[in-house]
Amino acid sequence: MVATGFFIMMATWGTYYSFGVFFTPMLDDFKWTRAVTSGAFSTATILEGILCIVVGGITDRRGPRLVLTITGAFLGLGYLLMSQVQTIWQLYLFYGLIMGIGMSGPFNSIVPTIARWFTKYRGLMTGFVVAGIGVGAIVVPPIASYIITFYNWRTSYLVMGCLILLVVVVGAQFLVRDPIQKKQRPYGQLPFVEETQTKTTSSGGLSIWLKSWRFWLFSLAFFCYGFGLFTVMVHVVPYAIDMDVPALSAASIIAVIGIASTIGKVFMGWVADRIGGRWSFAIGFAGMTVSLLWLIGAKELWMFLVFAAVFGFTYSGLVAPQPHLANELFGMQSLGLILGIGSFLFTVGGSVGPVLAGYLFDVSNSYHDALLICTAMTALGLVTTLLLRPRN
């Protein structure tokens, strides 16, 4: 289960993060503007965030196999169709719509499924699975770039489409919603607590959650997480270049964040098994806040690399421990739905943060105010997390 989830995450997110590799070759061919071209990626991200809620609910009822078979087919089809794109409306249809549907499936079906299969080592196993995202971001874009260099970008999209159909659609057939369907217990769960846990794993549904301060604090934490993470990922390289860091060296900042986050996801999953999701989230937000304060004063490349290592490692405290936190607050029965809502709020924050930072830079010709607001948002996430209390 864990190995299958890892490879599906690696394939889907690795290909998705390869969009920038295709950016310049497509612009050279079609002469589209950067704003119009990048809008397709934004459209896919927004649609993915909205559908995460639906996907999470379906996973709770039907399991990951159905979800990943359908969304994997959409994602693979989207890449295959991208190899034939000729007009801007096709770009928005194939990438923005079809691939937006496809990307709604992997995280919000696999993570709750893995959480149901483990009582012991739940965070660690989730960490191994979500580490596939970081590994994919490191491995797949260079492969796509290699194919583009020696063939063309259309061939590269064809290869990625076939890869997705093979890994995701085939891999989905090996996933099962929970161990009960295989007449097993979650790993680490004792026999005498099986019946009790099965019957007492929910603290209500969406209608009840909406009336709970716990739900709104949970949602705010995910919004702050998306705001802080995506603002950094979009603007840290331009900020470094403004500080006279060479462009090629500035690009290494993102690579360091990716490597550190891959290690951090596994480690923080292990930590969450010992201290719980709430305290793991607190560590993640605290690390992000401290590193952003450091970033405000960064002037040289080594300072940016220190930021990247700390930021990448600590923000992972908000990835692998998500099932732990959701279970502590709402129970396991509707885990997919609650994580889907969290993912939606994450994408909303991730959409607002970079735009606001860009606007503030346009007004002041400086990232100082934007970084201060970003730091304040991660600090707010820390306070929000500390205010959360587990359900009775």
Residue 208 has a pLDDT of 66
* pLDDT value at 5 more than 60: yes
pLDDT, average across residues 353-360:
83
Q: Per residue in 115-149, pLDDT tens?
A: 888 888 888 888 889 888 888 878 888 888 888 88
Residue 202 has a pLDDT of 52
Residue 198 has a pLDDT of 42
Answer whether 59's CB lies under 8 Å from 67's CB.
yes
Higher pLDDT, 333 or 4: 4
Of the candidate ranges 165-174, 254-263, 294-303, the one whose mean pLDDT is the lowest: 254-263
Higher pLDDT, 188 or 91: 91
Higher pLDDT, 18 or 196: 18
For helices 2-16 and 106-117, angle between their N-to-C axes, nearest 10 degrees: 160
Which of 98, 104, 206 has the alpha carbon at shortest distance from 161? Answer: 98
Residue 107 has a pLDDT of 84
Q: Per residue in 271-298, pLDDT tens?
A: 888 888 889 999 999 999 999 999 998 8
What's the CA gap between 217 and 388, in Å, rounded? 7
The average confidence (pLDDT) of the chain is 84
Of the candidate ranges 75-89, 239-253, 261-275, 285-299, the one whose mean pLDDT is the lowest: 239-253
- Tokens matching residue 63: 């399991």
Of the candidate ranges 128-142, 176-190, 272-286, 308-322, the one whose mean pLDDT is the lowest: 176-190
* pLDDT value at 35 more than 70: no
Q: Ramachandran region of residue 183, left (φ > 0), alpha (ψ -120 to 50) or beta?
A: left
* pLDDT value at 200 more than 50: no
Reported as a pLDDT band with limits 50, 70 and 90, residue 56 is confident
Domains of the chain: 2-178 (1.20.1250.20), 206-387 (1.20.1250.20)
What's the CA gap between 240 and 245, in Å, rounded? 6
Q: Per residue in 335-353, pLDDT tens?
A: 778 888 888 888 888 878 8
Residue 41 has a pLDDT of 75
Q: Which residues contact 148 (CB under 8 A, 6 or more apart)?
A: 21, 22, 25, 155, 156
- Tokens matching residue 86: 């000729």
| 96-106 per-residue burial string, b: 16 or more CB within 10 A, e: under 16 | bbbbbbbbbbb
Q: Per residue in 358-374, pLDDT tens?
A: 888 888 888 889 899 99
What's the CA gap between 306 and 293, in Å, rounded? 12
* pLDDT value at 194 more than 60: no
Residue 195 has a pLDDT of 42
Name the range with the highest mean pLDDT among 95-104, 231-240, 320-329: 95-104
Higher pLDDT, 43 or 304: 304
Distance from the Cα of residue 345 to its chain's centroid = 12
Percentage of residues in the chain having pLDDT higher than 90: 26
